[in-house]
Amino acid sequence: MEYVRRVEQSVSLLALLAIWAVGTMIVATDLSLPTPPQVATAFVEAATGSYFWGEVVRSTFRVYLSYVIAAVVAIPLGLLIGRSEIAEDLLFPSLEVLRPIPPIAWFPALTIILFNQENIVRFIIFLAAFFPILLNTIEGVQGIEAEYSQAASSLGASSSQSLRHVVLPGALPSIYTGLVNAMGLAWVSLVAAELLSSTGLGYYLWNAFVSNAYPDVIVAILVIGVLGYVSSALVRWLGARQLPWLQSETV
């Protein structure tokens, strides 16, 4: 059974490759779409130069830096808003005004305020990651049954002890969901922001496109996909490692 499954899964991935190969090499040859061999060649070429890797590191660093800052700001803020009705009333409406604006729509406005392109890209990624983490943290805190907090305080837990031993671990699964979503959205916005700037993989992608180096476009797409996938896997892996530990600590 398991064997059959593995075969079917391989078929699935090979079919994807086959569709690409047949589509570009036989069906739509006049569109000059890059074929798998062309892309492989382009990748080898790019991978042997330092420019490409420089852009990979630059984009990855941008995402991780902004992501970590977003988490460091959004989680405590979410805990506060989720715990305190006053904080919720005072902070949440303002944040809700900003939230529906797509991060990339900030780009022109940020050029006025921040000037520095590096900071603009960072800020856009920060925005993309910030709101999912914030909302899920708030939801996680508010979803904890009041009985747990009551039980903790009747067992003699102080407010900060209750926060540490009940609220944080109780909200953690939801925070984790937010962190996973945020990583995906961070990469989405990175590409969009870099398309409009002059550095990073998003720019590499767009630059290759406008200079008709189509195989390099595909190389960039695939590398961005892999980086996004690995980043999300990393968040999931950390979550899976941390969650049982934090939960068992409270028991």
Partner 1 sequence: MSTRSTTERIGEWFSGSLPSPTRGVRKLLSLVGFVAVWWLFYQFGVLNFEHFVSPWTTIVEFAGALAGQPLTEGGNTIYLHAAYSAVRVAVGVGIAAILAIPLGLVVGTSQRWESLVYPAFEALRPIPPIAWLPIAIIVLPAVAIGSVSIPLSALFVVFIGAFFPIYTNTIEGARNVESEYRRAAESLGASRTNVFRHIVLPATLPAIVTGLSLGVGLGWITVVAAELVTGGPGIGYIIIQASRLLNNQAVVIGMIGVGALGYASSALVVALGRWLTPWSET
Task: Quote the CA–CA distance of 106 and 103 in Å, as a whole number.
Answer: 6
Which of the stretches 44-52, 88-96, 148-156, 235-243 binds partner 1 when contact is defined by CB under 8 A?
A: 88-96
The only residue of 53, 61, 229, 237 in contact with partner 1, by rule CB under 8 A: 229
Residue of 56, 17, 39 lying closest to 231 (CA atoms)? 56
Interface map 173-192 toward partner 1 (x if CB under 8 A): ----xx-----xx-xxxxxx
The only residue of 50, 94, 160, 198 in contact with partner 1, by rule CB under 8 A: 94
* Touching partner 1, residues 105-164 (CB under 8 A): 105-109, 111-115, 132, 135-136, 138-139
* Touching partner 1, residues 7-26 (CB under 8 A): 8-9, 11-13, 15-16
**Which token pair is 84?**
């305190």
Query: Measured from the CB atom, is 14 or 65 closer to partner 1?
Result: 14
Residue 30 near partner 1 by CB under 8 A: no
Give the count of residues interacting with partner 1 (CB under 8 A). Answer: 73
Query: Measured from the CB atom, is 32 or 247 closer to partner 1?
Result: 32
**Closest approach of Cβ 161 to partner 1, in Å?**
28
Q: Are 71 and 195 in contact (CB under 8 A)?
A: no
Residue of 54, 81, 104, 60 lying closest to 227 (CA atoms)? 60
The only residue of 32, 150, 158, 247 in contact with partner 1, by rule CB under 8 A: 32
Residue of 63, 1, 24, 69 lying closest to 190 (CA atoms)? 63
Task: Quote the CA–CA distance of 217 and 135 in Å, as a whole number.
Answer: 35
Alpha helices in 84-167 (DSSP H): 85-98, 107-113, 117-143, 146-154, 159-162
- CB neighbour list of residue 138: distance below 8 Å, 6 or more residues apart: 78, 81, 82, 88, 92
Residue 53 near partner 1 by CB under 8 A: no
Query: Measured from the CB atom, is 18 or 155 closer to partner 1?
Result: 18
Residue 92 near partner 1 by CB under 8 A: yes
Task: Quote the CA–CA distance of 103 and 126 in Å, as a whole number.
Answer: 9
The only residue of 49, 100, 156, 244 in contact with partner 1, by rule CB under 8 A: 100
